Chain A
Amino acid sequence: MECIITIELGTNAVRVYAFDLNGNIIGSLKGYCPTFHSEPDYSEQDADQIFITMLYVLKNLLNDVLHPKKIKVRCICFSSSMHSVLAVDKRGNPMGHAIIWADNRANKEAAELKSSSLGKSIYNATGTPLHPMSPLTKIAWIKNQENEKFKQVSKFLSLKAYILQQLTGEYVIDYSIASATGLLNIHKIKWEAESLKFAGITAAMLPELVPVDTKVGKLNKAYQASLGLSADTIILAGSSDGCMAVLGDGVTGEGVATITVEDSGAVRVVSDKVMQDDKQRFFNYLLTENKYVSGGPTNNGGVIFEWFTRQFGDFKNPFDIEHTMLELINEASKVPAGSDGLLFLPYLLGERAPIWNANARGVYFGLNIKHEKSHFVRATIEGILYELYSIGKTLEEHRTINSLSINGSFGTLPFFTQMVADIYNKPVRLRQQYHSVSYGAYLLSATEMGIYKSLDEAAKSVVLPDLATPDKQNNKTYLKYFKIFERLSTKLASEFADIAALQHE
């Protein structure tokens, strides 16, 4: 028997899945990796620890599940979070930790660039919103703030590029990850000169650009031996988690939007055209040469419901957050749609799309004397999903959305899925069993191995079995409240700025 392994380098964990050639999961393991915050605005990860964790988890999966059954690994395909930056010296050794997507140190660089005409031109060329998440602004920050280190940097890698280099010796970056750096011209698929100039680097300081289905060299001999893998194991460059999630849900064309609700969230659509948005609200990332994944990210996904649960949930057993959350959801389900007029703006972590306001803060609005705790629970969930709807609604200014697919640990909770269907008034498809990101990596591998003729054919094979159909009555209620939600989200801008300034004191 043969299998395909997918490795997802996520923010909190490395997740390794083994699929049989038909796409059934035959094993999976994960390993946690910490994020370090040495300063309030900093979010960093240790590239070597991610590498070791990846090896450890992979080795355990091979030794515990695959080798005993003599299952041969044909292909290993990678996916990872976007926007990470790792500086390495001339020997390829990391110079400190990797700066990850959640890091906001480049706030000033991003704000200045965004308000300039250069910024507009860079956004149009690269499709990456001008935000401290963007590696473009992070590298500029290193140039401005740590110039001595900057001068010693030989290359700026992504975390995935580092892992691939450790395994194979090759420096490569796939189109998807590259298109989320703010450094890639997504129309020409070449490094963008204006970006390079702004960051103060040359193209030689970046890894080689490759399509997502590129076979990256050979696995180093030492790893062949220690892992028990053969020399002909295909190592695929792979893509970003966002693009893989869309592919894994079988979406490679227009008409369907994919909603992800993990800790953070996103709404994404696919097209062969770049989405040109004058207000610079959306990202455009490359899945392949002619497929753009466009959409908007939110900071405030499931993490906000987790926050609520920790503060107000009734923990029957220590640290049993899953059970506590389910009890709260049960409470929320007893309150009618619209929470009897209690609204929640979920901006506890500031917000990205569509308002792009780092100063935005959380608000409960419309409280009256009849509201009970259960109204707060429901309003909190509704607020998180109104925010995802506000992204989808703005996307509809550019694209037609007929139906939705949903994934992510929170999005696939039945209560969340149904609410998304009701708020959007569109049918929602999902698959409970596993991670769309890893399934996307399976489809990419299977296509590369000739099991499918093309990615489109691979995507067409995806069947999302479960369906939530919208409740028209609930939809009407939600839309009435959403209008107020939407107005509040921009109306409070000056108060958000004032309160954020006080909180920073």
Chain B
Amino acid sequence: MNQFVLSHTTASELRLFPHIIEIGAIKNTAIRLNGFPLSAERSLRLYYIQEGKFEWSINERRFTLFPGDVALVLPGVEFGNESAVLEIGSFSWICLEISKNEKGELEPGAWSSLTQVESYAIDKILQTDQSPVLQKFTDAGVILKSIQTELFKQELGFQTRVNHLIDEILIQLCRQFTRMLNPGRDFPKTFMKLEQELRQNLSHQWTVEEMAALVGLGTTLFNEKVKSYSGFSPLNYLINIRISEAIKLLKMPDISLTDIALDTGFYSSQHFSTTFKKLTGYTPSQFRKNHLGTN
């Protein structure tokens, strides 16, 4: 493997790719003191180990990485070797400028072909509290290698190819994460995690695609599993949670009906009112009156 580093401040190869802060590969043959200190960066960093064994700290947790392993470092997270040592071996990496939007969600820029729904799911997967190390994820190495080749050769369509390959690596990374977290053995546990995620972001307009992505299933199998386990389709289960939460809020006198509707993920107070009445027989305001009365 050839060693190289391209940085967006200097490398002309990255002129068309302002979102690639840095890309590189290193083959280190002797231990270097102060060669790999802890640092936190604004970019999303991805390291792929080719040879050797590396003791790295990510967000104050220590990991040992072996060939084929990937370290994922989110923006702002401290990463490096605790003693600042660069160990013997080789690895490649890429640092991407992926900014957070006003809600704190990671959002790839205009260069990405990911849809809004896909980006949302990818953000959720990357940001869940999980091990930032993926073992034996050799696909990442192959994709990184292809990005390097495209950048150096600059053949027809390389701009499109590079951007697609970055999307590809994000997608594969998330699929790998969800497979690791949901090994396909314990649906009750997987469903419980999903339900917690839904409750924490009840105001979000969830789609079935997003929900399925979080548990690492395709939508067809996801629909089938949710239906047979919960008795509800995914979206009906969501309505169930929305109404149950709304009932709690309706019993608190200080929150307006519109706020309740939006907090629990209904489009509008009308939408809330009709759905609520269909199920409970009461409009939200009648229900509130019944439960806040002194009798």
Contacts and interface: CB of A to CB of B under 8 A. Distances in A.
Interface in A210-243: 220-227
Nearest to A37: B192
Contact of A226 (B221, B248, B278, B292): B278
B293 A91 contact: yes
Most buried by A among B191, B232, B239, B281: B281
Given A30-B231, A52-B244, A91-B291, A225 B221 contact: no
B229 interface: yes
A56 B251 contact: no
B196 to A, nearest CB: 9
B234 to A, nearest CB: 12
Nearest to B239: A56
Interface in B248-295: 248, 251, 277-282, 286, 291-295
A318 B191 CA distance: 13
Which of A30, A53, A227, A318 lies at the interface centre, i.e. has the most chain B CB atoms within 10 A of its CB? A318
Interface stretch (B2-10, B27-35, B68-76, B182-190): B182-190
Contact of B230 (A32, A52, A225, A319): A32
B185 A319 contact: yes
Contacts of B231: 13, 29-32, 57
Interface string A46-68: 10110011011101000000000
B240 A52 contact: yes
B225 interface: yes
Nearest to B252: A93
B278 to A, nearest CB: 7
Nearest to A16: B231
A364 B16 CA distance: 63
A318 B230 contact: no
Nearest to A14: B231
B246 to A, nearest CB: 9
Nearest to B179: A318
A321 interface: yes
B243 interface: yes
Nearest to A221: B281
Nearest to A59: B279
Interface residues of B, number: 37
Contacts of A222: 280-282, 286
B170 interface: no
B243 A52 contact: yes
A55 B279 contact: yes
A46 B236 CA distance: 18
Contact of A32 (B232, B243, B281, B282): B232
Nearest to A28: B231
B291 to A, nearest CB: 6
B88 interface: no
Interface in A41-92: 46, 48-49, 52-53, 55-57, 59, 91-92
A93 B251 contact: yes
B241 interface: yes
B221 A310 contact: no
A315 interface: yes
Interface in B176-203: 184-187, 190-192, 195
B176 to A, nearest CB: 15
Contacts of A227: 281
A223 B281 contact: yes
Given A13-B231, A48-B244, A91-B293, A318 B195 contact: no
Contacts of A92: 291
B217 interface: yes
Contacts of A220: 281
A57 B236 CA distance: 11
B232 A91 contact: no
B247 interface: yes
Interface residues of A, number: 33
A321 B244 CA distance: 30
A55 B236 CA distance: 13
Contacts of A318: 184, 217, 221
Nearest to B237: A32
B294 to A, nearest CB: 7
A32 B230 CA distance: 4
A200 interface: no
B276 to A, nearest CB: 10
A342 to B, nearest CB: 24
Contact of B292 (A34, A91, A317): A91
A57 B239 CA distance: 12
B190 A319 contact: yes
A315 B291 contact: no
A317 B225 CA distance: 12
Contact of A321 (B187, B232, B243, B293): B187
Nearest to B287: A222
Given A34-B195, A315-B185, A49 B240 contact: yes
Contact of B294 (A53, A59, A91): A91
Contacts of A91: 291-295
A223 B287 CA distance: 12
Given A310-B186, A315-B184, A319-B187, A48 B278 contact: no
Contacts of A55: 279-280
A137 to B, nearest CB: 27
A321 B229 CA distance: 12
Nearest to A222: B281
Contacts of A53: 240, 244
B185 A226 contact: no
Nearest to A322: B228
A42 to B, nearest CB: 14
A34 to B, nearest CB: 6
A1 to B, nearest CB: 25
Nearest to A50: B244
A56 B232 CA distance: 10
A102 to B, nearest CB: 14
A226 B277 contact: yes
Contacts of B221: 318
Given A315-B184, A318-B217, A31 B281 contact: no
A46 B247 CA distance: 11
Contacts of A49: 240-241, 244
Contacts of B248: 48
A223 B278 CA distance: 10
A223 B280 CA distance: 7
A135 to B, nearest CB: 23
Given A49-B241, A91-B295, A222-B281, 12 more contacts: A32-B191, A34-B192, A91-B292, A93-B291, A222-B282, A223-B280, A225-B281, A226-B278, A226-B279, A318-B217, A319-B185, A319-B225
Closest 10 CB pairs of A and B: A318-B184, A222-B281, A226-B281, A32-B230, A49-B244, A30-B231, A319-B187, A31-B231, A310-B185, A48-B247
8 contacts: A32-B231, A52-B279, A92-B291, A93-B251, A223-B281, A224-B281, A310-B185, A310-B186
